[in-house]
Structure 1
Amino acid sequence: MKLNDKTYDTLKWIAMYLLPAAGTLYFALAGIWGLPYGEQVVGTITAIDTFLGVILGISTAQYNKANKTE
């Protein structure tokens, strides 16, 4: 699976910054304000973030392999 540069960069930004920040924010606010399902929401965000990390890792490995053989 190869991703174009723009898609890769966008997904990388989401995986590295947006999802961890959103999970942390919701978890903190859930504790302070008693928002529902704090652990479930953060668990879901973490699962999505892990999935994106794997997809990005596969894409990077394929990209590096293709460039090494050229």
Structure 2
Amino acid sequence: MVDSIKETNHDGEKPEEETGKENKYLLPDKAYGTLKWVALIVLPALAVFVHVVGPAWGLPYVDQIVATLNALGTLVGAVIGASELKVRYSA
């Protein structure tokens, strides 16, 4: 019944012969989408949450935690940005 299963070399993405194009990104589509969501939504929201709620609960090192979360968001953004640059400037 299942004779047309194709193997993939792109970490869960459709094979090149199905899509007609090769994935030139450093990251697979699923990882890119997840990291973008984490960098743009999750980490900034978590940083604001810790900044607002941390002092009310007596959480130590709130400023350091917020700075770390923001730096982590920047790092994740740089990783997905590098993936974009690879595609734009590759021949």
Q: Shorter chain as normaliser: what TM range?
A: 0.7 to 0.9
Instruction: Indicate the structure whose relative CO is greater, using CA pairs within 8 Å and at least 6 residues apart.
Output: 1
How far apart, CA to CA, are the structure 1 residues paired with 2:81 and 2:42?
Answer: 18
* Partners of 1:22 and 1:63 in 2: CA distance: 30
Aligned equivalents of 1:12 and 1:63: distance in 2? 16
Structure 1 position 63 matched with structure 2 position 76:
no
TM-score normalised by L of structure 2: 0.67
CA RMSD of aligned residues (A): 1.4
Give the gaps of 5 or more residues in structure 1: none
Which protein is bigger by CA-based radius of gyration?
2
Deviation (angstroms), 1:32: 3.0
Structure 2 stretches lacking a partner, 5+ long: 1-24
2:56 and 2:84 map into 1 onto residues whose CA distance is 39
TM-score, reference length from structure 1? 0.84
Aligned length: 67
User: Following TM superposition, by how much is the alpha carbon of 1:63 offset from its aligned partner in structure 2, in angstroms?
Assistant: 2.0
Which residue of the other structure, out of 52, 55, 72, is the alignment partner of 1:48?
72
Identity percentage over the alignment? 37
